[in-house]
């Protein structure tokens, strides 16, 4: 690559005695894996910068699957995530690491990710709306297009008081049979508008994103969810989507 790219560290792990192997999410190149040589060394200027949630300018080189980091500079201080919002941020990072192919541009998603982190850093109540909006945005960028506003069977606009069952690759079909894949028209309207004014619409959004993300995540559990359950009180442990 040429020039500098805006990027965030999604995940990092030690490599040899002094280096780091990093997954980056960059503005114009998507997810990139880089080797940061000497980044863990005592005299490295990168030691404190290559952390999740820190806006960076980076450049790299090389032609293989793993690039070599040529430079990195923090644009600003790390976004202040702590406690519950920290686990939410780790969850979002792991989602991106799991579902994005390497070196595939997702420029709009990069800004959705930035807005999500900013929302989490500023949250004073529940972080759930920010997570659900990001999940829905990510699904849209991955090509998971869903018409929330029309019945796939009749083509008519959904009615708030009616119930609809979601069928993969088809959409929402009017149905009187209730189940995990059933949503009211009011809940579908909230999904379309990305607005969740109450616990009913939030739970519906979580249920839908869980269904939609399952094909991308497979049966492998998310590590961030395991950490979340260990350290977060049970009353808050339903914030992140979980596997059935």
Regarding whether 184 and 217 lie in a shared domain, the answer is yes
Residue 6 has pLDDT above 50, yes or no: yes
Question: Whole domain around residue 123: which residue ranges?
Answer: 83-231
Instruction: Say how far apart CA 7 and CA 57 lie, in whole Å.
Output: 6
Torsion angle defined by CA atoms of residues 202, 204, 206 and 209, in that order, rounded to the nearest 10 degrees: -130
Regarding whether 134 and 64 lie in a shared domain, the answer is no
Residue 35 has pLDDT above 80, yes or no: yes
Regarding whether 98 and 16 lie in a shared domain, the answer is no
CATH number at residue 212: 1.20.1440.120
pLDDT tens-digit series, residues 100-109 = 999 999 999 9
Residue 244: inside a domain? no
What pLDDT is attached to residue 44?
A: 82
The pairing of strands 171-174 and 66-74 is: unpaired
Q: pLDDT-based confidence at 191, cuts 50/70/90?
A: very high
pLDDT tens-digit series, residues 50-97 = 999 999 999 999 988 999 999 999 999 999 999 889 999 999 999 999
Q: Which of the listed residues 45, 74, 103 is the one where a domain comes to its end? A: 74
Regarding whether 90 and 46 lie in a shared domain, the answer is no
Total structural domains within the chain: 2
CATH number at residue 68: 2.40.50.140
Residue 241: inside a domain? no
What is the number of alpha carbons within 13 Å of residue 176 lying toward its C-beta? Answer: 0
pLDDT tens-digit series, residues 161-186 = 999 999 988 999 999 888 999 999 99
Residue 243: inside a domain? no
Q: Which of the listed residues 50, 74, 98 is the one where a domain comes to its end? A: 74
Residue 38 has pLDDT above 60, yes or no: yes
Regarding whether 155 and 51 lie in a shared domain, the answer is no
Residue 42: inside a domain? yes
What pLDDT is attached to residue 137?
A: 96
What pLDDT is attached to residue 244?
A: 42
Q: pLDDT-based confidence at 226, cuts 50/70/90?
A: confident
User: Residues 229, 162: contact at Cβ < 8 Å?
Assistant: no
Percent of the chain surpassing pLDDT 70: 93
Regarding whether 226 and 115 lie in a shared domain, the answer is yes
């Amino acid at each position: 690559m040429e020039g500098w790219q805006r990027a965030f560290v999604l995940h990092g792990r030690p490599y040899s005695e002094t280096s780091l192997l990093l997954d980056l999410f960059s503005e114009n190149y998507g997810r990139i894996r880089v080797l940061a040589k000497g980044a863990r060394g005592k005299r490295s200027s990168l030691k404190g910068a290559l952390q999740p949630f820190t806006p960076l300018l980076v450049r790299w080189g090389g032609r293989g699957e793993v690039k070599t980091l040529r430079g990195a500079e923090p644009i600003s201080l790390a976004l202040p995530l702590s406690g519950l919002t920290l686990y939410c941020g780790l969850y979002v990072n792991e989602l991106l690491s799991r579902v994005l192919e390497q070196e595939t541009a997702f420029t709009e998603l990069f800004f959705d990710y930035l807005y999500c982190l900013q929302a989490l850093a500023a949250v004073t109540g529940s972080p759930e709306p920010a997570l659900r909006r990001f999940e829905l945005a990510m699904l849209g960028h991955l090509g998971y297009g869903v018409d929330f506003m029309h019945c796939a069977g009749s083509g008519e606009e959904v009615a708030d008081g009616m119930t609809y069952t979601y069928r993969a690759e088809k959409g929402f079909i009017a149905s009187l049979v209730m189940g995990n894949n059933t949503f009211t028209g009011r809940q579908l309207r909230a999904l379309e508008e990305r607005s969740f004014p109450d616990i009913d619409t939030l739970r519906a959004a979580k249920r839908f994103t869980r269904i939609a993300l399952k094909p991308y995540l497979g049966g492998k559990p998310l590590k961030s969810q395991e950490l979340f359950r260990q350290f977060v009180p049970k009353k808050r442990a339903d914030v992140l989507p979980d596997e059935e």
